[in-house]
Amino acid sequence: MADDRKTVVLTGAAGGIGQAAVRRLASNGWNVLAVDRDTDRLAAIAGLPHVAIFAADVTSEDDNARMIALAEERFGGVDALVINAAITGGGGFEAIPFARFRQIIEVNLFGAVMGIRAALPALRRSVNGPAIVVTSSTMGLGGESENWAYGASKHALIGIVHSLSREIGWEGIRINALCPGPTRDTGMTRIVESGAPEHFAMLARNVPLQRWADADEMAAVMEFLISPAASYVNGHAMVADGGTINGTGLAAPASGQGRVMPDH
């Protein structure tokens, strides 16, 4: 190691959750290689201490190889990988063109597999409790109308986590998924936030905590999952959704406060 910091490679680093994670991890003892294809947004985190940026497309095997080589060269090794880049793709089952479906699978699934494959040799060399986190979604565990393509990609990621945890656990490398609920100030939610206030409020009402998450609340879970505090957490899909997917029916008391139901 070039210094006593551990090093994390994080994709989708220029996005809402990605930027929050870069800031949190760099402030809490990590070197961060921040990877994204959006060079304008990457520039926002370029000057931060302990952060290096790399403009790359996660669907390119060459770019994935280069990002790991760069992290090793710049920081002396790779101790954690956070696969966080993704694209959305809402639309009815019969409406989404196959070309768009392929693109979603290409970025969200192939991109993840390529990143993990590229990183494994470096993670094997780590003596700092190597770990991988893949950002899935509550859409990786449940369904939603007109969100099947994105959901399929996110379900598949959890399948990879389940199997790979059993393939590399013996080498001391952990892999887990993070499943965020609706998170504010992100590309994933910008359309809802800016264009459809009623949909925004409706999604919040669906959450027992009655609000959207802040991006840093997702970054905190990522940090936990790659930290020694999670040293026995492996093959797990950790949900951070304010309690949404475990319930059915109302997410909060209809009256707005607790009450005793009348006998009937």
Binding footprint of ligand NAD on the chain (CB under 6 A)? 12, 14-18, 36-38, 41, 57-59, 84-87, 107, 111, 135, 137, 180, 182-183, 186-189
Q: By C-alpha distance, which of 171, 193, 188, 181 is closest to 238?
A: 181
Q: How far is the CB of 142 from ligand NAD (least distance, A)?
A: 11
d(CA 218, CA 142): 19
Least Å distance, CB 182 to ligand NAD, is: 4
Residue 126 or residue 183: which is nearer to ligand NAD going by CB? 183
CB of 258 to ligand NAD, least distance (A): 29
Continuous H helices in the chain: 16-27, 39-42, 61-75, 98-105, 111-125, 148-168, 187-195, 197-205, 215-226
Q: How far is the CB of 228 from ligand NAD (least distance, A)?
A: 24
Supply 3's token pair: 């210094």
Q: List CB contacts of 6: < 8 A, sequence separation 6 or more.
A: 29, 30, 31, 79, 80, 128
Instruction: List Cα–Cα distances, 208 to 177, 203, 204, 251, 254, in angstroms.
Output: 22, 11, 8, 5, 12
Looking at the Cβ atoms of 96 and 126, the one nearer to ligand NAD is 96
The C-alpha atoms of residue 11 and residue 200 are separated, in whole angstroms, by 27
Nearest CB to ligand NAD, comparing residues 114 and 126: 114
CB 242 within 8 A of CB 207: yes
Q: Min. distance of Cβ 187 from ligand NAD in angstroms? A: 2
For 187, counting Cβ atoms within 10 Å of its Cβ (0-12 exposed, 13-18 middle, 19+ buried), the class is middle
Quick one: 54 or 126, whose CB is closer to ligand NAD? 54
Quote the least distance from Cβ 198 to ligand NAD, whole Å: 17
Q: Closest residue to ligand NAD, Cβ-based?
A: 15
**Closest distance to ligand NAD from the beta carbon of 161 (Å):** 13
Question: Between 119 and 188, whose beta carbon lies closer to ligand NAD?
Answer: 188
Is the CB of 1 or the CB of 251 nearer to ligand NAD? Answer: 251
**Residue 222 and residue 83: Cα distance in Å, rounded?**
10
Q: 76 CB contacts (<8 Å, ≥6 apart)?
A: 1, 2, 3, 7
